[in-house]
Amino acid sequence: PFLLALLTNPTFIEGNCWTTFIDDTPSLFQMVSSQNRASKLLTYLADLYVNGSSIKGQIGFPKLDTEALIPTLHDPKTGIAIDVNHTPPPRGWRQVLLEEGPQEFAKKIREYKGCLITDTTWRDAHQSLLATRVRTIDLLNIAPTTAFALNGAFSLECWGGATFDVSMRFLYEDPWVRLRKLRKLVPNIPFQMLLRGANGVAYSSLPDNAIDQFVKEAKENGVDIFRVFDALNDLEQLKVGVDAVKKAGGVVEATVCYSGDMLKPGKKYNLEYYLKVVDEIVQMGTHFLGIKDMAGTLKPAAARLLIGEIRKRYPDLPIHVHTHDSAGTGVASMTECAKAGADVIDAASNSMSGLTSQPSISAILASFEGSINSGLSESFVRELDEYWAQMRLLYSCFEADLKGPDPEVYSHEIPGGQLTNLLFQAQQLGLGTKWLETKKAYKIANQILGDLVKVTPTSKVVGDLAQFMVSNNLTEEDINRLAGELDFPDSVLDFMEGLMGTPYGGFPEPLRTNMLGNKRQKLTERPGLTLKPVNFREVKKELQSRYGTQIDETDIASYIMYPKVYEAYRKQVEKYGDLSVLPTRNFLKPAAVGEEIVVDIEQGKTLIIKLLAIGEISQKSGTREVFFELNGEMRSVTVEDKT
Ligand code: 3PY
Ligand code: ZN
C-alpha cells in the first residue's frame, strides 16, 4: 500500500521529487494507515457477513433498523430550538468543582436547597438492563445534547464498574478513549465512576500501587467523582480506594453498601451496623457519603429511618444515595431519601430505567414536584429520552427480558446488575427452566457463606456457588459435608482465601478450613499488604516489546487490571482495527448485499462501504472472498468460513 500511495502521489507523478520527499510528505503514511484501517474494517464486515456476530450475549439483531435520530432540545421558556453543536453548554456543577475544589464543591452541594440527580444512563442503567453493551459511538452521539439537557445534574455516572472490562472484552473498545472523548463533549457536568475499592474495577484485590496508578489516570482522563465501595464493607479495603482518590485530587464518595432489608427482625445488617460503618467512614474522611443499595432492597420506611439518622448525626455531611428499581419501589424510596435529607439520588433516563436499573428521572421529578428542587428541567429530560427510547431498540438483542418487578428481591437480595446477568446465564447454560431454582440456591448459598454483603465481587461468589449447586444438584448439607472434595469455582476459593477482604462477623467455619484444605492459604491481613507491588517500568517495557512504543499509562493500567482481557483486545484490534467507529447496527448485524454503510473513521474522513458479492467457498482453504465497494473503488477481502 505504501508503494501505491507513493506512485499515485501527484508530486511524485509530476517528477517534482526531492531526496527528502518521503520524509516531508507525512500524508503518504496517513494514507497508508487509513487504507490499512479500511482493510481491517472490511475484514470485520466480511467476517460478520460470513460467520455471523461474535459478540457474546447477542441474541438476534437490533430492532432499530434506521439511524438513531438526535432529539432537538427546546428552551423550556421560549420554545426555541437549541443548536447544541454550535452553542457552548451552560455552566454546571463541574465549573464549581474546577474553580473551588472538592471540599468547597461538597459544601455547596450540601447547601443546595433540594436534592440533585445523578444520571446513571451511561453506566449502571445499561449495565443492569443491556449487559453493559452500550458502545462509545452511541454515547458520543448524544453527549452534546446531554451536556445541555442535564446541565443541572450533580453528575453523569459514565465509567467504572463493569463498563471497564466489558468494553475491552466484548465490544473491542478502549474504555479510556471513551472517557476522553466524552469528557471533551461534556465540560460542564461532573463525571462519576464506580470503583470497587482495593479491587479497582476487577474481581479481587490488586497491589495498592496499582490502585493508585489507576485512579490517577482516571482522574487525569476525565473522572471527577469516585464512588468507592468495598463489597464486604471492609473498611481497610475501602480505605485503599479512598486514599488513592485523595492522592489523585478527586472527589471522594466513600460508600456503605446496603444489604437486605434492615427492618427485618434479626437481620445481621441492621441500623446499628450501618451507623457504625458510617462513623468509621466519616473518621476516614470523605467529601460525600455514598449509600449503595445495589439490590434495591432499601424500602421507603428504611430509607427514611437510615438517611434521617445519618442526617441527625452528621448535619453537614453530603449524602448521595444509589438504588435499583428491582422491586418497583425505587421512586418511593428515593423520594423518602430526599425528604430525609439526602443531597443527591441516582436515577436513569426514562427508557433506560425501572426493573433492575435505576428509577426513572421523570418519575422522580414528578414525585418531587411542588416540594423538592432537582435542578433539572422536566421537558429537557423527556426530549433527551427520545434518544434512549431508540437505543433500547438498537440494543434489544442484549435485553435480559425481565417482564416486571421482582419483589422476591427482598428475599434473595441479588444486586440489579447481577439479577439480569444470572437470568441470562441460566438461559445460556440451559438452566432457563431452573431460574427459580437458581434464585432459591442464591439465597441458600448466601447463608452457607455466612450472609454476605453482596455486590461485585462477593455477589459473583454467591452467584457462582448457587449455579454450582444447581448444575450439580447439591444441597446445603452436601456442600458442608463434601467441602474438602468438591471442585468449587475459583471465585468461591478466592473469597475463602481472603482475597476480597474479611466479611463482617468473620468467615464461615469449619467450611472455610475444609474448602481450602491445603490447596490455598488463609490470609490473615488485607491482601494488599502481601501482594507484590507492580513494577510499572517492567510492565511498560514488556508491553512496548509486544505492541510497539505507543503504549501509554492508560494501556498499562488496563493491562494491570485485566491482563488477559487486554491481550485479547489487542489481538482484536490487530485484526479488525478500531471498531468503535462502526455504527452499532453494522457492528451487530451483517450488511445486506447492496447496503451502504457510512463510517466516519476520523473527523473529516468518511468511508462509504457497499457490500457487493460473496464468493464461493474454497474447498482447499475453507475461505471466501467478499467483495466491497469502498469510496467508489472495488476491494475484496478473504475470510475463513467457520460456519
Ligand atoms: C459494579 O461493581 O459493577 C456494580 O455495579 C456494583 O453494584
Ligand atoms: Zn448499581
* Res 8: pLDDT: 54
Choice from 118, 124, 257 to test ligand 1 binding pocket (greatest atom count within 8 A of CB): 124
* Res 7: pLDDT: 54
Residue 151 CA to ligand 2 center (angstroms) comes to: 22
Flag whether pLDDT at 25 surpasses 60.
no
* Res 428: pLDDT: 73
Flag whether pLDDT at 14 surpasses 70.
no
The total of other beta-carbon atoms located within 10 Å of residue 99's CB is 10
Please give the Cα distance from 12 to 21 (Å, whole number).
8
For ligand 1, say whether the CB of 456 is within 6 Å of any of its atoms. Answer: yes
Q: How many CA atoms lie within 13 A of 588 on its CB side?
A: 24
* Res 513: pLDDT: 98
* Res 2: pLDDT: 46
Average pLDDT over residues 171-190: 98
Flag whether pLDDT at 433 surpasses 80.
no
Interval 567-609: pLDDT, tens = 999 999 999 999 999 999 999 999 999 999 999 998 889 999 9
For ligand 1, say whether the CB of 458 is within 6 Å of any of its atoms. Answer: no
* Res 166: pLDDT: 97
242 CB burial (10 A radius; 0-12, 13-18, 19+)? buried
Residue 453 CA to ligand 1 center (angstroms) comes to: 13
For ligand 1, say whether the CB of 455 is within 6 Å of any of its atoms. Answer: yes
The model carries a pTM of: 0.94
For ligand 1, say whether the CB of 194 is within 6 Å of any of its atoms. Answer: yes
Average pLDDT over residues 549-560: 96
Average pLDDT over residues 81-93: 95
Interval 490-518: pLDDT, tens = 999 999 999 999 999 999 999 999 999 99
* Res 90: pLDDT: 95
* Res 205: pLDDT: 95
- Confidence bin at 220 (pLDDT 50/70/90): very high
Residue 163 CA to ligand 1 center (angstroms) comes to: 9
Q: Which segment of 25-34, 72-81, 409-418 scores lowest on mean pLDDT?
A: 25-34
Residues 6+ apart with CB under 8 A from 430: none
Ligand nearest to the CA of 165: 1
Flag whether pLDDT at 4 surpasses 80.
no
Flag whether pLDDT at 12 surpasses 70.
no
Interval 459-488: pLDDT, tens = 999 999 999 999 899 999 999 999 999 999
Average pLDDT over residues 532-549: 96
Residues 6+ apart with CB under 8 A from 481: none
Residue 373 CA to ligand 2 center (angstroms) comes to: 24
Atom of ligand 1 nearest to the CA of 124: 5
* Res 1: pLDDT: 45
Residue 323 CA to ligand 2 center (angstroms) comes to: 6
Atom of ligand 1 nearest to the CA of 417: 5
* Res 602: pLDDT: 87
* Res 165: pLDDT: 96
What ipTM did this prediction achieve? 0.97
For ligand 1, say whether the CB of 124 is within 6 Å of any of its atoms. Answer: yes
Interval 289-323: pLDDT, tens = 999 999 999 999 999 999 999 999 999 999 999 99
Q: Which segment of 20-24, 35-39, 171-175, 278-282 scores lowest on mean pLDDT?
A: 20-24
Residues 6+ apart with CB under 8 A from 439: 408, 412, 414, 422
Q: Please tell me whether residue 49 adopts helix, strand or coil conformation.
A: helix
Please give the Cα distance from 104 to 100 (Å, whole number).
6
More confident of the two residues 4 and 430: 430
Q: Which segment of 144-148, 152-156, 416-420 scores lowest on mean pLDDT?
A: 416-420
Q: Please tell me whether residue 469 adopts helix, strand or coil conformation.
A: helix
For ligand 1, say whether the CB of 162 is within 6 Å of any of its atoms. Answer: yes
Atom of ligand 1 nearest to the CA of 322: 7
Please give the Cα distance from 416 to 124 (Å, whole number).
9
Flag whether pLDDT at 27 surpasses 90.
no
* Res 26: pLDDT: 55
Locate 70 and state its grid cell. 438526535
Q: Which segment of 15-29, 57-71, 85-99, 127-141 scores lowest on mean pLDDT?
A: 15-29
Ligand nearest to the CA of 326: 2
